[in-house]
């Protein structure tokens, strides 16, 4: 039998017209996903993309896979039901900061704590786009929007810290326009067995343009971000002249070179530590004091829920035999009327 030719990015493009605003960061993320999926060797019909509501949640329509555009905030719950019953499928959840962290916050944290084998991509643009520009749970304090004309008063969520707090086994951050980095992070998420949580900084050029410019502008790229690479020290800066060092139980930025610290003083990144403590420190590293960490903060494998569910069913069948409906209906105390 001839093997089918390998799939390409084109094979994952549906015939639907894409309706995001021109210049929206969502395009780049779609492209990244359509780049990674063909590499996985999984047939298209085995891939399901499930979303909630919001700009990002339109993504399933543009994928030539199975797709489910569900309701606001509930995609992780829909995906959980699907993955528990169909562990053979590769299930991706597409969500945004409003969808995942406001209305769907409960489902997000529970999917992560259960370690269901689904990949959750959170497009964080720090704004409500589809409803025309209200502040979101990741908008910075004081943000002026349609619903906060005098500035927002409530403190934002830190998505990575939230995911780690929920016990997520895979936690990463990347940026829409860093295509290479994005693809690499998605690759690692795809390879993860349990729940994978990826926060993607996404520019909404209509309602919150340049939300991440502080780090994506050319001059700042290396100054404002630190790339987490497994086995490598955490060094950053245009001149690679700064590092992150552990000082007691805190992180600190150190100058490298003469008079300063050396590379050997810097934290060497290991995402596979079973303790989430260092990942937590990195998740809390926020500008302006720290460069924004990009890459995989945590990646540890524990048995995904769907596997445990199947094993429990198999054990029950081993022990009690495959259930007989006849026997079940006749169980308990019975009597005969003749």
Partner 1 sequence: MSTDTSIKDPAAGTERAERPQARLSDVVIRFAGDSGDGMQLTGTQFTNTSALVGNDLSTLPDFPAEIRAPAGTLPGVSAFQVRIADYDIHTPGDAPDVLVAMNPAALKTNIGDLKRDGILIVNTNEFSKRNLVKAKYEHNPLEDGSLDGYRVYPVELTRLTREALADLELDNRSRDRCKNFFALGMCYWMFSRPLDNTIAWLEKKFAAKPILAEANVKALKAGYNYCDITGVFQNRYEVEPARLAPGLYRNINGNSALSLGLVAASRRSGLPLFLGSYPITPASTILHEMARYKNFGVTTFQAEDEIAAVCAAIGAAFGGSLGVTTTSGPGLALKSEAINLAVMTELPLVVCNIQRGGPSTGLPTKTEQADLLQALFGRNGESPLAVVAAASPSDCFDAAIEACRIALTHMVPVVLLSDGYLANGSEPWRVPAVEDLPDLRVEHASNPEGFAPYRRDPKTLARPWAIPGTPGLEHRIGGLEKEDVTGNVSYDPDNHQRMVELRAAKVARIADELPPLEVDGEPGGRLLVLGWGSTLGAITGAVNLARERGLQVSRLHLRHLNPLPNDLEEILGRFDRVLLPEMNTGQLALVLRGRYLVDVKTLSKVQGRPFTRGEILAEIESMLEA
Instruction: Centre a 10 Å sphere on the Cβ of residue 249 and count the other Cβ atoms it contains.
Output: 7
Q: Where are the alpha helices (DSSP H) in 235-304?
A: 277-283
Tell me the site size for partner 1, rule CB under 8 A: 60
Give yes or no for a contact between 159 and 172, defined as CB atoms under 8 angstroms apart: no
Note whether 175 binds ligand SF4 by CB under 6 A: no
75 is an interface residue for ligand SF4 by CB under 6 A: no
Report how far apart, in Å, the C-alpha atoms of 20 and of each of 58, 90, 142, 165 are: 8, 25, 28, 33
Judged by CB under 6 A, the residue of 125, 152, 216, 292 near ligand SF4 is: 125
Minimum Å gap between C-beta 160 and ligand SF4 is: 21
62, 207, 236, 269: residue in contact with ligand SF4 (rule CB under 6 A): 207
Residue 129, contacted partner among ligand SF4, partner 1, none, CB below 5-8 A by kind: ligand SF4
* DSSP state letters, 41-73: T--GGGEEEEE-SSSGGGGGGGBSSEEEE--TT
Sheet bearing 242-247, strands edge to edge: 235-236, 242-247, 250-255
Q: How many residues bind ligand SF4 (CB under 6 A)?
A: 11
Comparing CB distances to partner 1, the nearer of 67 and 291 is 67
In angstroms, give the least distance from the CB of 190 to ligand SF4.
24
CA-wise closest residue to 29 among 167, 151, 179: 179
Who's near 97: CB < 8 A, 6+ residues apart? Answer: 122, 123, 124, 125, 126, 127, 136, 137, 138, 157, 159
The least distance separating ligand SF4 from the CB of residue 149, rounded to whole angstroms, comes to 19
**134 near ligand SF4 (CB under 6 A):** no
Lay out the site mask for partner 1 across 317-336 (x = CB under 8 A, - = otherwise): x-xxxxx-xx-xxxxxxxxx
Q: Does 30 participate in binding partner 1 (rule CB under 8 A)?
A: no
Q: Are 66 and 45 in contact (CB under 8 A)?
A: yes
Residue 18 in contact with ligand SF4, rule: CB under 6 A? no
Q: Is 63 in the site for partner 1 (CB under 8 A)?
A: yes
Task: By CB under 6 A, tell whether 177 contacts ligand SF4.
Answer: no
Distances (CA, A) of 165 to 40, 79, 158, 274: 30, 21, 10, 14
* Residue 142 touches which of partner 1, ligand SF4, none (Cβ within 5-8 Å per kind): none
For 37, the token pair is 């999926």
Q: Are 203 and 210 in contact (CB under 8 A)?
A: yes
Interface residues with partner 1 (CB under 8 A) are 14, 16, 43-48, 50, 53, 60-61, 63-71, 74, 77-86, 88-89, 106-107, 110, 309, 312-313, 316-317, 319-323, 325-326, 328-338
Interface residues with ligand SF4 (CB under 6 A) are 20-21, 24, 26, 55, 125, 129, 204-207
């Amino acid at each position: 039998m001839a093997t089918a030719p390998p799939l390409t990015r084109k094979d994952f493009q549906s015939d639907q017209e894409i309706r995001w605003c021109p210049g929206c960061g969502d395009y780049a993320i779609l492209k990244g996903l359509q780049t990674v999926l063909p590499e996985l060797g999984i047939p298209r019909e085995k891939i399901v993309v499930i979303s909630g509501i919001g700009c990002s949640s339109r993504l399933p329509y543009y994928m030539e896979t199975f797709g489910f555009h569900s309701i606001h905030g509930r995609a992780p719950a829909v995906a959980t039901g699907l993955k528990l019953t169909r562990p053979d499928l590769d299930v991706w959840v597409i969500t945004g900061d409003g969808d995942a962290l406001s209305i769907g916050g409960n489902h997000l944290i529970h999917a992560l704590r259960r370690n269901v084998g689904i990949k959750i991509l959170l497009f964080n643009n720090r704004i409500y786009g589809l409803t025309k520009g209200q502040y979101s749970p990741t908008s910075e304090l004081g943000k002026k929007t349609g619903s906060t004309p005098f500035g927002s008063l409530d403190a934002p969520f830190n998505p990575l810290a939230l995911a780690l707090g929920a016990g997520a086994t895979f936690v990463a951050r990347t940026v829409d326009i860093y295509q290479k980095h994005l693809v690499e992070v998605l690759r690692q998420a795809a390879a993860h067995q349990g729940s994978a949580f990826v926060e993607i900084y996404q520019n909404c050029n209509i309602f919150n343009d340049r939300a991440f410019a502080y780090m994506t502008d050319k001059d700042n790229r290396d100054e404002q971000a630190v790339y987490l690479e497994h086995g490598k020290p955490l060094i950053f800066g245009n001149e690679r002249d700064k590092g992150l060092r552990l000082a007691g139980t805190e992180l600190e930025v150190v100058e490298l070179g003469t008079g300063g610290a050396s590379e050997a003083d810097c934290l060497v990144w290991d995402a596979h530590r079973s303790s989430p403590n260092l990942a937590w420190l990195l998740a809390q590293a926020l500008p302006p004091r720290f460069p924004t960490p990009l890459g995989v903060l945590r990646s540890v494998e524990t048995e995904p829920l769907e596997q445990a569910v199947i094993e429990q069913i198999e054990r029950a069948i081993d022990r009690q035999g495959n259930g007989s409906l006849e026997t079940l209906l006749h169980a308990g105390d019975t009597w005969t009327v003749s």
